[in-house]
Structure 1
Amino acid sequence: MTSALNKKLWRDLWRMRGQVLAIGLIMASGIGVLVMGLSTVEALDETARAYYERYRFAHVFARVKRAPTRLLADIAALPGVQTVEGRVVEGAILDIEGFNEPVVGQLVSLPSLTTSRLNLLMLRSGRMPAANSDDEVLISEPFARAQSLYAGDTIKAVLNGTWRELRVVGTALSPEFVYAIGPGALMPDDRRFGVLWLPELALQAAFDLEGAFNDVSVSLLRGARTQDVIEAMDRILDRYGGIGAYERADQLSNWFLMNEIKQLRTLSRILPTVFLLVAAFLTNMVLARLIALERSEIGLLKAFGYTRGQIAWQYTKFVLAIGAFGVVLGWVAGYWLGWYETNLYGEFYHFPFLLYRPAPTAFVIAALIGFGAALLGALRTVYSAASLPPAESMRPPAPPMFRQLGIARYAFAQRLEQLTRIIIRQVWRWPVRTLTTCGGIAMAVAVLITSFQWLDAIDHMVDVYFRQAQSQDVTMIFAEPRSIEVAHDVARLPGVRVVEPMRVVPAKLRYGWREQRESLQALPMQQRLYRVYDSNGKALTLPPQGLMISSMLAEMLQVEIGDRVTVEILEGRREVLQIPVAGTFETYIGSPAYIEERALARLLRESQTVSAMHLRVDSLQLPALLAELKTLPRLSAVSLRAANIQMFDETMARTLMIFVSFFIVFSGALSVGVTYNAARIALSERGREFATLRVLGFTRAEISYLLLGEIALLAALALPLGCFIGRMLARLIVAGFKTELYRVPFVLDGSSYAWAMIITIASAALSAVLVRRRLDRLDLIAVLKTRE
């Protein structure tokens, strides 16, 4: 008996192979996205942990003005501290032959007498600089690749006001600079920012730090309390100009990487749900109609002694077979996509190796969810099949009660030709079927809209953050705060038309038990170049007193307007201030805190100083200005707004277009699967009706119009529903991607809706072509001989 049922199972699967393939593709899309997300997160997380462990990435970091090397022994004696290493870390302006713009370099010292104990380098080419050399340098591999620098090439640099010529001897990678980003930048730009490692003695001599350090890294023993070590290090380094120790989670490169992993986790949870829900709907729809067509067979099986459990298991195996096809295909697609995505991230995050070896967990979770979705969709239908009494199932189902449709009373309905009225009547009389098909097509539209929303959001972010909020062409960042009088000297540089000062002060902001490390940015009350700009499109005037903070920072500190925030300044006299929150604003990037420049000077009890200058420049004289900036002695960085926009566009456009392309393919599969299933099942149910109409003289075009017109009507009804669902789904994803790093705005242009609908209509048209071919090959004699 079991063998007979198995034969029937395989015949049913082969007979309905089109529907099985369509459902399997939808399920595979969801499982593929799920496996891709989980495996990529796992790969990035495992690669980062392995890289950090093998190359001894520190747990705690601290910057200091100047501290004697004897303090390292005091730090090493702290409870929980395992290893301590002091270094010299400074910024410099580099001049690369053949590249007109100033390049920002971060100089890091290498121990002269011993090998590094923390933040080890992986030598990628060449050799390490000689310990007694004063001109040999090791450079970061991405920087060398972007600038086409090789061993033996030279780089000119301004070290503490002195021109030096440095000779490249090799390239390396470091766990500190997995995400190498320059001052004031949002994206890595390997052409304009590079890391250079020099011998310790050479760098100490260049910056007058003999026998001293200005940067310290610490690794901790297992179980040590990080916060206790940070507080103890702050006490030791306080009198030497320490600006506050911080843990690995706040280290810039690691912070960017962990935010990316967090967002990937969000993506891997939301989008697969859409595909798997639609697969569940389709499984239910296909199985329900299969059971409706096989009522008499079910009755015969029961009459021959098959039990209710055997009948239920028969149709459950049908569902499991579809699920198995989708799961295996999804596993293969997810593995490949995960490998591709991991390598894509490897281009932005500079790892010396990538560990893509997905654990079975991701595949098991995906399989359980896939089979669960299929079984959930078929549960009610399987139960109804098993519960049919033999006598009742032997009879054909009662035809639906004929009644005149409500819309038939209206004049416009009377003017419709007969075939169109048949289509409307068919859609109206099967509301569950109609809603299921519309829902599936709507989900395809929704996924496309959520994909295109990312493109719209990034365009909006670039427009607001770079074009509306910022009008400067160049930003100069000084190595040390300078008197406000330097603005007059800067104004005399070639091509400078407008100068706007900016003061940045490192600080800790506390409210109650909550604390955030965030620099205070002091600007003029009314800014001309670098504006405090609300995401609603409004440039804000800074209050004469108090802080203007982003809504993200207000949320993290749980403060409201009028609350007084404790601000601990991490430089100079390390003032501890009580400053009220005067206002909040919404921004997409970071969590900044602004204060009026004169108000900050009063609070710090100092004359007005600047740490950066924003410049508007005559474009014709920009090359002359850049050449001049390369020679200025006290600059640590130069940032060009045009270069930042270009890099942001290139990086985001490349990654987003890849992801959007993925989801266009997935959504196309979703739309094809839903429409093909609906049309094929309608054809199998109404084959006798269509054959009868053909015998009565209706043409193939008219019969096709009856079948495909119904699908077209359902697709037309689904498009606005899909736009609504897509809008809600996009809001959900935007909320899930909210991090300290950036918030994705909810922006949807009309063109995104249009493209989503066009792609869905094209997918539905492809399904219609496939079904039309089957309709044209309909065997009229065989269909009409079939018993009712």
Structure 2
Amino acid sequence: MSPLNRKLGRDLWRMKGQVIAIAMVIATGVMLLVMMSGVVTSLNETRRAYYERNRFADVFAPVKRAPLHIIRDLADLSGVSVAEGRVTGSALISLPSLELPLRATALSLPNRSEPRLNAIHLTDGRRINSDNADEIILLNSFARAHKLEPGDKLSATMNGARRTFRIVGLAQSPEYLYSVAPGEMISDDSRFGVIWMSQTALAAAYDMQGAFNEALLSVGRGNNLQETLERIDHILNPYGGLGAYGVKDQTSNRFVSEEITGMEGSSKVVPPIFLAVAAFLLNIVISRMVQSDREQIGLIKAFGYSNWEVGLHYFKFVLAIAIGGAVLGCIGGIALGRGMMNMYLLYYKFPILVFQLDPAAFVTAFLTSILAASAGGLFVLRQVFALSPAVAMRPPAPADYSRAGKIGASLNRLLDQPSRMILRRITRQPRRMIGSLTGIACGMALSVSMISLLAGFDRTMDLTFNVLDRSQVTVTFTHPLAIHAIHEINAIPGVIRIEPERVVSAIMRNGTRSYRGAINGIHADATLKRAVAKDLSPIVLGKQGIILSKGLASTLDITPGEILTVQILEGRRPVLRIPVANIAESLFGSPAYMQLDALNRTLKEPLRVSTAYMRIDANRADQIFKQLKNRPSVAGVSLKSDARVAFQKMMDNGAGSMRFIMVAIAAIITFGIVYNAARIAYAERLRDLASLRVMGFTKAEAAFVLLGELGVITLAALPIGGALGYYLSYAIAEGFSTDLYQIPTIFTPSSYGIAALAVLTAAIASGWLVKRDIDRADLVSALKIRE
């Protein structure tokens, strides 16, 4: 081993505290990069393999009722490789232990063969015997939520008739990776199930003998999907086609895609922040190290080492920290990624989900960490090249403090001697103080942004369930009903208030941008479900115009006053041009609102409703639910309290769970930054502190000189870090937001207070560790250090 390499080992050990702190900052950035890249790769690859293995359809084409021979016409279309028809219907499941009926979707399976598209993955039991009309296969997640097993009985209402079925198997399906009831957005395994029955049995239950109401198609990759959808619609329109759509608009796939998009967005924002902080810290450490090693650099050059050899020695110091941090980060990223897979496996219904390492992520992690570290050290290495042996072996010229001394002269008579020493240090070496102050301000900014992120998630919950939707119960009908259905429900004892809504499926277009969703028709004076402005004041719905949520308006790139093209996917399927009247605040989903009467009038279907929102007397809830369960027109009844719990679960899993990990990491990084600043100050002032001890200062008084300086810098960094955190919060919130939910940036006094408390706690802990070193310092060795 060469002498310079032995010196490198001694330097790393001598500065082990700072080395570990900076390596941990690099490790966190690399860990997040490796974990997020691996999660994205795992979800994408597992989804692709699952779709291929189970022959997931490329196109879904719902229709009211079409004869089976139409499937041949669909299969003959150019580019269509497989076409299959099936029967679907809504159902209500009744469980003895629950008064509230549970929503379900019933799907048909071919009588004596495997489905050519959307095959199911059997997890328990056996396949259906088509000769037995009472046999069903149940969605695995729903069955597990209610402890149902093959062999159990299940009662369900289909098409107004209650029947009892026997469960023969449990299954998973690529169609229900994210299982959610039609028209809803929140997955709840205990509130929504899927029932598979034989084609003959389900067709008989829904009067679909010899017909189908949904076509599944597989389309070649080289074909124009939009043209294929238009040809499919042309064939199905005479039979009540409801608009064919591709897999990207399929409900489950859309939610999985949004999760992946959210993780990708976070991976582009968060890791670079930590690596940038690491580069800044390395810049400070290497700069101070070169200054303290002036004499050694001169001696090394005097012994014949070239500028490049000496520069490479210090660059190796940077690389050792970067590579060590990258290795730790890769190991941590793998461990954290595997933990995330277990969480995703509970959230998304894959048969198996294994964390797949992305080789490119490792290469990127090492390169970015080395580049970040190099950026922090290369500028300082110029000082090494500039030092000649003769100059380096002499102490640096004393600094001119004549001007700096005037800054605090007026305060000197008000301060005691140790305090004056602190003031002189700060005023005489402003660049060093600014470096330390900036580092601590970065820690404060990270803490502020992470706490603001937590507050943003809480705001999303509060706005969704306390401001926009103030109901307690939501009733969904099987089809649009006349308004008197609302009056009948309102007459049930215990119903305090009821408000109708009409939900109409539609495709909204603005130029080349489009979104497949729904229009919500609500009363102008609605109080239970309403649209609100940015200041949370209710928006008055006029007789003309449409109100778009903020997320939807962003997706469509449209502003109030512009004209929106709306293709209705129900009834006569008219194409409308509606002016955008206003933009509503919404942090969950992408709703669009119209006045109920105006929507019905536009569709030429007056006094029609599809949903009802209610407030009820909790003491009469069981009687109300019992009456609703017995109404054949009711497709489902849901409690907002259940939806809130499910939404919280959704936010706490998947990409949303990253906020907890990042808060913990931010706390660690904040401590590392403050501790690093304290260690640098201690290394620079060790000789001064030893001199004070020899002159008669006590350990506490000597420590006060150093720790007082750290305290002043920390307090000065808090407001600067708060301002940086304000802007950083916007970038991080944008990275977490998706089309499914948007995370607002929330700033409250408590956010700044908690962040400041975290920084101060880190400063106190760092100060205690440094004071321990001061008390243990060898005064003789310290006094031998040359200035």
Distance in structure 1 (CA, Å) of the matches to 2:157 and 2:778? 85
Distance in structure 1 (CA, Å) of the matches to 2:511 and 2:292? 68
| CA 157–239 in structure 1, closer or farther in 2 if over 3 Å, else same | same
Could you tell me which residue of structure 1 aligns to residue 362 of structure 2? 363
| CA 576–19 in structure 1, closer or farther in 2 if over 3 Å, else same | closer
- Structure 1: which amino acid aligns with 2:529? Y
Q: CA deviation at 1:769?
A: 2.0
- Contact 1:327–1:367 (Cα < 8 Å) also in 2: yes
- CA deviations over 1:614-648 (Å, ceiling 9, x no partner): 22211111111112222211222222112112222
Could you tell me which residue of structure 1 aligns to residue 222 of structure 2? 223
Q: CA deviation at 1:787?
A: 4.5
Distance in structure 1 (CA, Å) of the matches to 2:730 and 2:742? 12
Q: CA deviation at 1:237?
A: 0.8
1:634 aligns to 2:657 (yes or no): no
Q: CA deviation at 1:459?
A: 2.0
Q: CA deviation at 1:311?
A: 0.9
- CA deviations over 1:562-618 (Å, ceiling 9, x no partner): 333332222222223333323332322222222222222322223321111122211
Q: Over the residues paired in the alignment, what is the CA RMSD in angstroms?
A: 1.9
Could you tell me which residue of structure 2 aligns to residue 91 of structure 1? 90
Q: CA deviation at 1:509?
A: 2.5
- Contact 2:531–2:585 (Cα < 8 Å) also in 1: no
Distance in structure 1 (CA, Å) of the matches to 2:163 and 2:479? 20
- Contact 1:93–1:102 (Cα < 8 Å) also in 2: yes
- Contact 1:454–1:656 (Cα < 8 Å) also in 2: no
Distance in structure 2 (CA, Å) of the matches to 1:633 and 1:661? 45
Q: CA deviation at 1:513?
A: 4.0
| CA 81–537 in structure 1, closer or farther in 2 if over 3 Å, else same | same
Could you tell me which residue of structure 2 aligns to residue 705 of structure 1? 704
1:725 aligns to 2:724 (yes or no): yes
Distance in structure 1 (CA, Å) of the matches to 2:310 and 2:502? 77
| CA 424–181 in structure 1, closer or farther in 2 if over 3 Å, else same | farther
Q: Please, which moves more after superposition, 145-154 or 738-747?
A: 738-747
Could you tell me which residue of structure 2 aligns to residue 148 of structure 1? 147
Distance in structure 2 (CA, Å) of the matches to 1:239 and 1:165? 35
Distance in structure 2 (CA, Å) of the matches to 1:490 and 1:610? 13
Q: CA deviation at 1:656?
A: 8.2
- Structure 2: which amino acid aligns with 1:584? I
Q: CA deviation at 1:205?
A: 0.2
Could you tell me which residue of structure 1 aligns to residue 113 of structure 2? 114
Q: Please, which moves more after superposition, 191-200 or 646-655?
A: 646-655
Distance in structure 1 (CA, Å) of the matches to 2:593 and 2:684? 68
The aligned length equals 786
Distance in structure 1 (CA, Å) of the matches to 2:664 and 2:519? 46
- Contact 1:450–1:726 (Cα < 8 Å) also in 2: yes
Q: CA deviation at 1:409?
A: 4.3
- Contact 1:440–1:671 (Cα < 8 Å) also in 2: no
Could you tell me which residue of structure 1 aligns to residue 40 of structure 2? 41
- Contact 1:94–1:630 (Cα < 8 Å) also in 2: no
Distance in structure 2 (CA, Å) of the matches to 1:433 and 1:675? 14
- Contact 1:588–1:744 (Cα < 8 Å) also in 2: yes
Q: CA deviation at 1:184?
A: 4.8
Could you tell me which residue of structure 2 aligns to residue 502 of structure 1? 501
- Contact 1:445–1:667 (Cα < 8 Å) also in 2: no
Question: Partner of 1:674: helix, strand, or coil?
Answer: helix
- Structure 2: which amino acid aligns with 1:126? G
Question: Partner of 2:151: helix, strand, or coil?
Answer: coil
- Contact 2:133–2:201 (Cα < 8 Å) also in 1: yes
- CA deviations over 1:705-729 (Å, ceiling 9, x no partner): 1112212222212222222211211
- Contact 2:401–2:428 (Cα < 8 Å) also in 1: no
1:323 aligns to 2:295 (yes or no): no
1:581 aligns to 2:583 (yes or no): no
1:437 aligns to 2:440 (yes or no): no
- Contact 2:408–2:427 (Cα < 8 Å) also in 1: no
Pairing of 1:680-695 with structure 2 (within 5 A): 680-695=679-694
- Contact 2:322–2:370 (Cα < 8 Å) also in 1: yes
- CA deviations over 1:264-293 (Å, ceiling 9, x no partner): 111112121221112111212111111111
Q: CA deviation at 1:190?
A: 0.8
1:408 aligns to 2:408 (yes or no): yes
- Contact 1:522–1:596 (Cα < 8 Å) also in 2: yes
| CA 578–669 in structure 1, closer or farther in 2 if over 3 Å, else same | closer
Pairing of 1:762-777 with structure 2 (within 5 A): 762-777=761-776
Could you tell me which residue of structure 1 aligns to residue 308 of structure 2? 309
- CA deviations over 1:454-481 (Å, ceiling 9, x no partner): 3212222222221122222211111111
State percent identity of aligned pairs.
41
Could you tell me which residue of structure 1 aligns to residue 64 of structure 2? 65
- Structure 1: which amino acid aligns with 2:288? R
- Contact 1:671–1:764 (Cα < 8 Å) also in 2: no
- Structure 2: which amino acid aligns with 1:665? A
Could you tell me which residue of structure 2 aligns to residue 124 of structure 1? 123
Could you tell me which residue of structure 2 aligns to residue 135 of structure 1? 134
Unpaired runs of at least 5, structure 1: none
Pairing of 1:453-472 with structure 2 (within 5 A): 453-472=452-471
Q: CA deviation at 1:121?
A: 0.8
Q: CA deviation at 1:428?
A: 2.7
Question: Partner of 1:382: helix, strand, or coil?
Answer: helix
| CA 655–715 in structure 1, closer or farther in 2 if over 3 Å, else same | farther
Distance in structure 1 (CA, Å) of the matches to 2:625 and 2:255? 30
- After TM superposition, the score normalised by the length of structure 2 is 0.97
1:297 aligns to 2:285 (yes or no): no
Q: Please, which moves more after superposition, 291-300 or 649-658?
A: 649-658
- CA deviations over 1:127-159 (Å, ceiling 9, x no partner): 122112211111111111111111121221111
Q: Please, which moves more after superposition, 312-321 or 426-435?
A: 426-435
- Contact 1:140–1:173 (Cα < 8 Å) also in 2: yes
Distance in structure 2 (CA, Å) of the matches to 1:301 and 1:183? 75
1:245 aligns to 2:234 (yes or no): no
Distance in structure 1 (CA, Å) of the matches to 2:287 and 2:746? 40
| CA 673–465 in structure 1, closer or farther in 2 if over 3 Å, else same | closer
1:346 aligns to 2:350 (yes or no): no
Q: Please, which moves more after superposition, 260-269 or 593-602?
A: 593-602
Question: Partner of 2:661: helix, strand, or coil?
Answer: helix
- Structure 2: which amino acid aligns with 1:143? F
Q: CA deviation at 1:488?
A: 1.8
Could you tell me which residue of structure 2 aligns to residue 750 of structure 1? 749
Unpaired runs of at least 5, structure 2: none
Question: Partner of 1:98: helix, strand, or coil?
Answer: coil
- Contact 2:340–2:654 (Cα < 8 Å) also in 1: no
Question: Partner of 2:408: helix, strand, or coil?
Answer: helix
- Structure 2: which amino acid aligns with 1:670? I
Q: CA deviation at 1:248?
A: 0.8
Could you tell me which residue of structure 2 aligns to residue 198 of structure 1? 197
- After TM superposition, the score normalised by the length of structure 1 is 0.96
Question: Partner of 2:289: helix, strand, or coil?
Answer: helix
Pairing of 1:273-284 with structure 2 (within 5 A): 273-284=272-283
Could you tell me which residue of structure 2 aligns to residue 563 of structure 1? 562
Question: Partner of 2:768: helix, strand, or coil?
Answer: helix
- Contact 2:463–2:587 (Cα < 8 Å) also in 1: no
Question: Partner of 1:538: helix, strand, or coil?
Answer: coil
Distance in structure 2 (CA, Å) of the matches to 1:110 and 1:487? 36
Distance in structure 2 (CA, Å) of the matches to 1:26 and 1:558? 39
Pairing of 1:46-57 with structure 2 (within 5 A): 46-57=45-56
Q: Please, which moves more after superposition, 397-406 or 78-87?
A: 397-406
